[in-house]
Structure formats: C-alpha cells, structure tokens
Amino acid sequence: MRTRIFQIAVTIAFLLCVGNAYAGTTAPADMMLVAPAGMQARKPDVPFSHTLHAKQGLECKTCHHTWNGASEMRKCGSPGCHDQPGKKDGMSFYKAFHDSRSEKSCVGCHKAAKKAGNIKAPTSCRQCHVKK
Ligand code: HEC
Ligand code: HEC
Ligand code: HEC
C-alpha cells in the first residue's frame, strides 16, 4: 500500500513538471524595449518591468494579445504585426505603445489608470523614454 501511494505521488509530481514545461513561458523580470532593427530610433529606449505589471494583476494576454497560452511570445514589431513605420497607420510600431484609445498599449492603459486615480502610471515622454 505504502509503495503504491509513493508511486502515485511520483507520477503526479512527474506530470506536474511536464505540465509546467509545456505551459512554461516565463516572463523576464526586467527588460529594455527597443525599436526593431532597421528602424532609426529617435527616442531613448524604454525600460519595462514584468514584475511590476504582474503586481497590477494583469494577465499575459492583456499585452500579448496574439498569444494562445502555448505559442511563442512574439515581439510587438514582428513582421506582420506592429511593423509599420510612422505614426498614423493602425499597425505602426509607434501606435502599439502610444494608442491612447487602446488599453493594450502602454500609454492607453496608463491614461486610463491615471483617470482612475493611479498617479504612478507614467504618461509623459520623459518618464518612459528615460535618458541613459
Ligand atoms: C508609457 C510609456 C511611454 C510613453 C509615455 C511614451 N512612449 Fe514612446 N515608446 C514607448 C515604447 C515602449 C516604445 C517602443 C520601444 C522603443 O522604441 O524604445 C516607444 C517608441 C517610441 C517611438 C518609436 C521609436 C523611436 O525611438 O523613434 C517614438 C518616436 C516615440 N516612442 C515617441 C514618444 C513621444 C514623443 C512621447 C511623448 C508624447 C512618448 N513616446 C511617450 C513607450 C512610451
Ligand atoms: C503590461 C504588458 C505586459 C504584460 C501584462 C506581460 N507582458 Fe510579456 N512582454 C511585454 C512587452 C512589451 C514585451 C517586449 C516585446 C517586444 O520585445 O517586442 C514582452 C516580452 C515578453 C517575452 C519575450 C522576452 C524576450 O526577451 O524575447 C516573454 C517570454 C514574455 N513577455 C512573457 C510574459 C508572460 C508569461 C506574461 C504573463 C505572466 C507576460 N509576459 C505579461 C509586455 C507584457
Ligand atoms: C493594462 C495596463 C498597463 C499596460 C498595458 C502597461 N502598463 Fe505600465 N503600468 C500600469 C500601472 C497600473 C502602473 C502603476 C503601477 C503602480 O501603481 O505602482 C504602471 C506603471 C508603469 C511604470 C512606472 C514604474 C515605476 O517604477 O513606478 C512604467 C515605467 C511602465 N508602467 C511602463 C510600461 C510600458 C513601457 C508599457 C508598454 C510596453 C506598459 N507600462 C504597459 C499599467 C499598464
């Protein structure tokens, strides 16, 4: 009986590990967001913290809106995504981060958060495009 319970426990532990490996997309804690290769950056790069945003109770899919839970995380500026230069185009790289009408974008969500009373969500250029 004892060994049987032990075997079951080992099997469950094994399955849990395999399960984690499959769903195991881990977010890097801190990263620098940069313009994609080929696009000349006019503004300083932007630091981004997954840890801080996880504390806001945000789901991965709020930002990684093409992610299905198992696929690879695509970069915002991947070909076919927000890969257009300029500002106006709906699929422009710029708009992915500054569309004030979409809460998937940095500025859009921060503006909404500010409106709701959270003064810690930055909305001015300098606060995100931090000088190195
Ligand atoms: C909430 C954060 C945030 C705010 C506020 C913000 N940006 Fe950005 N911006 C980003 C992110 C993230 C990127 C993409 C990563 C990168 O290019 O470094 C970006 C990219 C850009 C780009 C394209 C890349 C480049 O460097 O040329 C421009 C231009 C830009 N921002 C201008 C501005 C201006 C002007 C303002 C103020 C009106 C502003 N941003 C406010 C986060 C922000
Ligand atoms: C507030 C928005 C936001 C949330 C929430 C978020 N991420 Fe991200 N994540 C980003 C941005 C922005 C990038 C950079 C994308 C790029 O490079 O174009 C990124 C990049 C990544 C990368 C790629 C890192 C690399 O170096 O290529 C992984 C993996 C990732 N996130 C996992 C997660 C997971 C898992 C969660 C949920 C637990 C999550 N993210 C939640 C915004 C977010
Ligand atoms: C869906 C909502 C949401 C999105 C999308 C989002 N943020 Fe935020 N972010 C927040 C909130 C809420 C805070 C305020 C955190 C607090 O209360 O401490 C915040 C805070 C920040 C801060 C301030 C950190 C500090 O040290 O105080 C930075 C920088 C930041 N976000 C960058 C970004 C960038 C860059 C993006 C886009 C790649 C982004 N955020 C996307 C909700 C969001």
How big is the CA angle at 15 (ends 9 and 21), to the nearest 5 degrees? 140
Integer Cα distance of 65 and 104 in angstroms: 8
- Atom 36 of ligand 3: nearest residue by CA position: 106
- Atom 17 of ligand 1: nearest residue by CA position: 35
Give distance in angstroms: CA of 132 to centre of ligand 3.
19
- Atom 39 of ligand 2: nearest residue by CA position: 60
pLDDT at res. 18: 35
| Per-residue pLDDT of the chain in tens (132 residues, 90 and over written 9) | 555 655 545 444 444 433 333 346 899 999 999 999 888 899 999 999 999 999 999 999 999 999 999 998 999 999 999 999 888 888 999 999 999 999 999 999 999 999 999 999 999 999 999 987
pLDDT at res. 14: 41
